[in-house]
Amino acid sequence: MPIQVLMPALSPTMEKGNLAKWLKKEGETIKSGDVIAEIETDKATMEVEATDEGTLGKILIPEGTADVAVNTPIATILADGETAADLAKVPAAPAPSVAQEVAESRSPVGEGKPMISAPKATAAPQAVAEPDPEVPAGTAMVTQTIREALRDAMAEEMRRDKDVFVMGEEVAEYQGAYKVTQGLLQEFGAKRVIDTPITEHGFAGVGVGAAMTGLKPIVEFMTFNFAMQAIDQIINSAAKTLYMSGGQMGCSIVFRGPNGAAARVAAQHSQDYSSWYSNIPGLKVIAPFSAADYKGLLKAAIRDPNPVIFLENEVLYGHTGEVPKLDDYVIPIGKARIVRAGSHVTIISWSNGMTYALKAADELAKDGIEAEVIDLRTLRPMDTETIINSVKKTGRAVTVEEGWAQSGVGAEIAARIMEHAFDYLDAPVTRVSGKDVPMPYAANLEKLALPSAAEVVEAAKAVCYR
């Protein structure tokens, strides 16, 4: 039977890509290892090599097709002795793999755009977003991936201030391990876009030392998992020096990179550090969800005179959103945003937790429960006021986080609600969180370990006694 060539995934979190070019024509002989096509994402271009021998029977996805979902059949290869007539034996489309389901379950629903547009489109539910108070009415918007929004934020700040530079592993010549720093080397040169050796503890310290003299480093960790090697410099040197010096010597520095669970990379590469860093006085901690917030808050973080932990999310990098087309779009640190207004229950989350929160809000609406969804955006300083005002209105609260529940940010939110709005509560504050286990590798177990929209729905119904 003819062999199907499927759209490959270039990274653990890739969900779709563009079929840029076919390098073989129908009818051409193919040997194992031949490059047959080029595919690209916003992150990289890769060659597709044949793993089977035969003749290229039929090209199913023509070159130039955008947004081809991973695992979509893109061509068939005929084995020796087979002819075009055999092509009919190929099933129309394979059953979606488990991995694909996992990827889809993580696609954001809050930005009103279906993420997988071709060849099969899944309609994403629309969130009823509250207008962003930071954006003047009538502002033109540009659709960008979060990856691009981050890159633009850095580029704009580097143009504005020559003391801003980027350092980290693979940030320059490789253009970023996740392509967040794409193009920066070309614009700003090797002096300001600096590839470091694999030496997190050391380069974090170098960054802090440079910041103590007044420079404004952006230190990229390839992931925050690796920042555990550097956490002494982040906390003992960056966070505490202003206090220990009686206000003389500060440290304007941004530590940024992907945080939390990626996809199928197991325990050592999948941990949410939200609660770790938000525990530390002297640090500011930001963990945005939408592309606009990624941009506006990274710009604010770079300008902030304090050390800022900027927690990104690898799963979200490729997701798009509307970013205001303003010369200088800066969002104040420490302000939560009500992304969806509602009166029955408050759902509080941040970063990729918003994916579950917003999806759950849509589900709840079908059952007549109107959830108010708050995107914290900044974890320290935490916008307690926005949370409390909402809870005073709804009387019920559910927190959603990918990290572990014990000593987590959800636990902190619950404590603040009890301190400031105990008399308004009609039900105990409930937490939805990552399960209390190291992240497993197997796709089904990984899915179970993470929170889900269904769990958020269940928690919200429970606090509404429904």
246 binds other proteins (CB under 8 A): yes
What is the residue type of 307?
P
Q: Per the residue annotation, which of 269, 314, 344, 412 is the catalytic one?
A: 269
Q: What's the CA gap between 166 and 61, in Å, rounded?
A: 39
**Rounded to the nearest whole angstrom, what is the least distance from the CB of residue 215 to other proteins in the complex?**
5
Within 10 Å of residue 17's Cβ, how many Cβ atoms?
A: 27
**Neighbour order of strands in the sheet with 73-78:** 3-6, 73-78, 54-59, 29-30
By CB under 8 A, what part of segment 263-302 binds other proteins? Answer: 281-282, 284
Residue 269 appears among annotated catalytic residues: yes
- Between 149 and 172, name the residue whose CB sits nearer to other proteins: 172
Q: Tokens for 107? A: 């696609």
DSSP-assigned states of every residue in 363-417: HHHHTT--EEEEE--EEETT-HHHHHHHHHHHS-EEEEEEEESTT-HHHHHHHHH
Closest CA to 6 of 68, 87, 98, 80: 68
- Between 212 and 417, name the residue whose CB sits nearer to other proteins: 212
With CB under 8 A as the contact rule, the residue among 202, 266, 267, 279 that binds other proteins is 202
With CB under 8 A as the contact rule, the residue among 244, 437, 445, 448 that binds other proteins is 244
- Between 203 and 273, name the residue whose CB sits nearer to other proteins: 203
Q: What's the CA gap between 168 and 98, in Å, rounded?
A: 34
With CB under 8 A as the contact rule, the residue among 4, 107, 196, 386 that binds other proteins is 196
With CB under 8 A as the contact rule, the residue among 57, 250, 318, 353 that binds other proteins is 250
- Between 51 and 236, name the residue whose CB sits nearer to other proteins: 236
165 binds other proteins (CB under 8 A): yes
**Rounded to the nearest whole angstrom, what is the least distance from the CB of residue 283 to other proteins in the complex?**
9
Q: Quick one: CA dihedral 211, 153, 403, 98, positive or negative?
A: negative
β-bridge mates for residue 29, sequence order = 55
Residue 200 appears among annotated catalytic residues: yes
Q: Tokens for 383? A: 């916008």
213 binds other proteins (CB under 8 A): yes
**Rounded to the nearest whole angstrom, what is the least distance from the CB of residue 308 to other proteins in the complex?**
11
**Rounded to the nearest whole angstrom, what is the least distance from the CB of residue 236 to other proteins in the complex?**
5
- Between 27 and 189, name the residue whose CB sits nearer to other proteins: 189
Question: Between vectors from CA 78 to CA 74 and to CA 79, what angle results, nearest 5°?
Answer: 135
Which residues of this chain interact with other proteins, rule CB under 8 A?
165, 191, 196-197, 199, 201-215, 232-233, 236-237, 241-250, 281-282, 284, 305-306
